[in-house]
Amino acid sequence: MKIHWFLPTGGDSRDVVPEGPNAHWRPPTNEYLAQIAQACDDLGYDAMLTPCGTACEDAWLATASLIPLTKRIKFLVAFRPGFLSPTLAAQMASTYQRMSGGRLLINIVTGAEPRELNRFGDWLDKDARYERTGEFLDIMSNALSGDPYDFDGKHYRVAEATTREVPEPRPLIYFGGASPAAEQVAAEHVDVYLAWGEPPSMVAERIERMRELSAAKGRTLTYGIRFHVIARPTSSAAWAVADEMLAHMAPEAIEEAQADFSTTMSEGQRRMAELHSGDMGNLEVHPNVWAGIGLVRGGAGTALVGSYEEVADRICEYHELGFDEFVLSGYPHLEEAYWFGEGVLPILRNRGLVEGVAERSANASTFR
Ligand SMILES: Cc1cc2nc3c(=O)[nH]c(=O)nc-3n(C[C@H](O)[C@H](O)[C@H](O)COP(=O)(O)O)c2cc1C
C-alpha cells in the first residue's frame, strides 16, 4: 500500500475556507511548501500530489523547485494534457526523472469546467477532450519508450516522437475522472485510476466496472483514493476538530459552493456534492467518513475522521475493496501530515501494509 500526501500549491489554512479570523491563511511560498515536503519526506509518505488549475502554482515548476530540498519523496505532478504537446510532455517527464533521480509520477487531469478550460484556450467538448487525452497518452508513453513513434490521429499528428534518453523509471500515469468517457481512457492508457473519497457503497461498483473495462483491454490497473484526514489519539478529539471546522463554515460560503456545484460539468464533483446536498445534518456518510469538507470545497470533499486505530481500520476497509494507494491531506497540511504520519502510519506499518520501521527509538534528553 502507498500513502501519499498533498502539496497545497494554492495556499494553506487552518480552516477549509481560507478567509476568516480562525483560518490563518498561509501563502504557497517555496519555503512553506518545502516545510511540508520535507516533513513528508521524513515521515515516510510515498509522494506528494499537486493540484493543477488557475488557483494554484504550476505543478511542474513548484515541485521541481523542491527536488534539491528533499531526499526521497516523489512528486505526483498534475497537468492538463490538452495544453501541452505530448512529445514535449514526454521530454519534460524524461528530464524530470534524470534531474530528480526518478521521483516523478504524473497525474493526468482532463478537466471539466468550461470557464477554466476556455481560459487556457481549450474549447473542445468533454467527449472530444477525453478522446484527445487518449491520443495524448498514447503518444507520450510511446515517446518515452526509446523507439521513435509515428502517430496520425484526430487531435495529433507526430513523426518520430521520442526523447533524448529513456527515463529510468518510466513515470507511472495516474488519472482521475468518473464519467463514462474517462473510464474508457483510463482502462486503456493509465497505471493508477484515482477516485475522490466516496463511501464504499458508491465506489465499489466503480472499481468493479474499471476492472472489467481494463480486463477487456488485457490490462490490470492499480486503484487510488483521495481523502482528507483528521486523525487524533481519540475519536472524540478528532470529531471535535471536525465540529470546529464546521462551526467556522459561514452559511453564505456553503450556499455559494452549492450554487457552484449545481452547475458542475464534472461527474466526480456531482457525486461528491450528492453526498450532502448542502445539508449540515447527516455528514458521516459511512463510519469515520465525513462529507463536511465538501460543503465548501470543490474536488475532494470527504475526510477520514477518527482515532488513529479507527482511521487505520477504515483505510484497511478501502484496501480490501481494492485500493492500494491513498492520497491524503488535512488543514493545515503541515500539522496534519504529522498527526497522520506519527499516529496512523506506524499502525499501518505494524500491520505490514506500509513499508518502513514502525517505531522510532526515543532518547530522553539528559545532561547525565
Ligand atoms: C484525485 C483526483 C485529483 C484531481 N485533481 C484535479 C486537479 O488538480 N485539477 C482539476 O482541474 N481537476 C482535478 N481532478 C478532476 C479530474 O481529473 C477530471 O478532470 C474531472 O473530474 C472531470 O472528469 P469527470 O467528469 O469525468 O469526473 C482530480 C480528480 C481526482 C479523482
78 lines ligand 1 (CB under 6 A): yes
Atom 30 (ligand 1) nearest CA: 176
Backbone region of residue 77 per phi and psi (left: phi > 0; alpha: psi in -120 to 50; beta: other values): beta
First to last CA, the chain: 42
Atom 9 (ligand 1) nearest CA: 52
Beta-bridged to residue 195, according to DSSP, are: 225
| pLDDT for residue 360 is more than 90 | no
267 lines ligand 1 (CB under 6 A): yes
40 lines ligand 1 (CB under 6 A): no
Q: How far is the CA of 109 from the centre of ligand 1 (A)?
A: 5
Mutate to test the pocket of ligand 1, among 52, 266, 270, 326 (most ligand atoms within 8 A of CB): 266
Percent of the chain whose pLDDT exceeds 70: 99
| pLDDT for residue 21 is more than 90 | no
Closest by Cα among 167, 88, 85, 91 to 132: 85
Q: Tell me the per-residue pLDDT of 267-312, one tens digit each, with 9 for 90 and over.
A: 999 999 999 988 888 899 999 999 999 999 999 999 999 999 999 9
C-alpha cell at 29: 511560498
Distances 104 to 2, 120, 157, 185, 334 between C-alpha atoms, Å = 15, 24, 26, 21, 22
The predicted pLDDT at position 357 comes to 73
108 lines ligand 1 (CB under 6 A): no
Closest ligand 1 atom to 175 CA: 17
| pLDDT for residue 56 is more than 90 | yes
Q: How far is the CA of 180 from the centre of ligand 1 (A)?
A: 14
Q: How far apart are CA 58 and CA 61, in angstroms?
A: 6
Q: 363 falls in which pLDDT band (50, 70, 90)?
A: confident
The predicted pLDDT at position 278 comes to 80
pTM of the model: 0.97
